[in-house]
Homo-oligomer: A and B are copies of this chain.
Amino acid sequence: MLIHDMPRQASIDLLTRMRLARLACAHEGQPYVIPIYCAYHDNCLYSFSRAGQKIAWMRANPLVCVEADELVSPQDWATVIVLGKFEELPDTPQFELERKRSYDLLQMRPVWWEPGSLKAESSEKTHAVEFGYFRIHIDQISGRRGIPDTSSSRESSAMHEAPTGWLRRILGRAEHQKGDH
């Protein structure tokens, strides 16, 4: 496997295709990460969530990180990491356009899921759930892609390769380095 840094546009293209990502926020040194459903537009990621701990944390500290990926096989994958800032889109006239944009973006594509949107022990029929839209302003994007090394005959393209390939060699090298093997 060869690993390359992705050009910025390729990273943005991945963000544009994806809907499911992981969002990390932090409060007093404690990070927290959750899956989110989101959509990219014009250097922002749009999403929504029920009111809860992560929204309270991001109000207090808007610095966030979002990770999105496409995993085809152990040797064929891409991952994009975004550093950015949280901005709430409250239900006020000032944010009407941005809330409409959020809705339009989020309803455009097939849904995966959104576990953060509903309370535990509730159903989608519960109307008391409070939630809101937010967006992440992107400050930095970095992307990395793994591609099969076609010059190597040792690699397998199997989706769930047993660890006899490059990873085993890495793991084994650690053991070898300390003389166990």
Contact = CB atoms under 8 A, between A and B. Distances in A.
Interface of A: 1-5, 20, 22-26, 29-35, 37, 48, 61, 63-67, 69, 71, 73-75, 77, 79, 81, 83, 91, 96, 99-100, 103, 106-107, 109-115, 117-125, 127, 129, 131-133, 144, 146, 149, 152, 160-163, 165-171, 173-175, 177-178, 180
Given A162-B111, A163-B107, A170 B117 contact: yes
Stoichiometry (number of copies): 2
22 contacts: A2-B121, A3-B118, A3-B119, A3-B123, A5-B121, A23-B33, A31-B63, A34-B67, A35-B67, A35-B79, A48-B170, A74-B111, A91-B174, A99-B178, A103-B174, A106-B171, A107-B163, A111-B162, A111-B163, A114-B167, A117-B167, A129-B170
A65 B171 contact: no
A174 B133 contact: yes
Residue of A20, A25, A161, A174 most packed against chain B (CB within 10 A): A174
Interface centre among A65, A123, A171, A177 (most CB of B within 10 A): A171
A170 B3 contact: no
Contact of A32 (B65, B74, B124, B149): B65
A5 B66 CA distance: 25
A99 B23 CA distance: 30
A24 B66 CA distance: 10
B110 A161 contact: yes
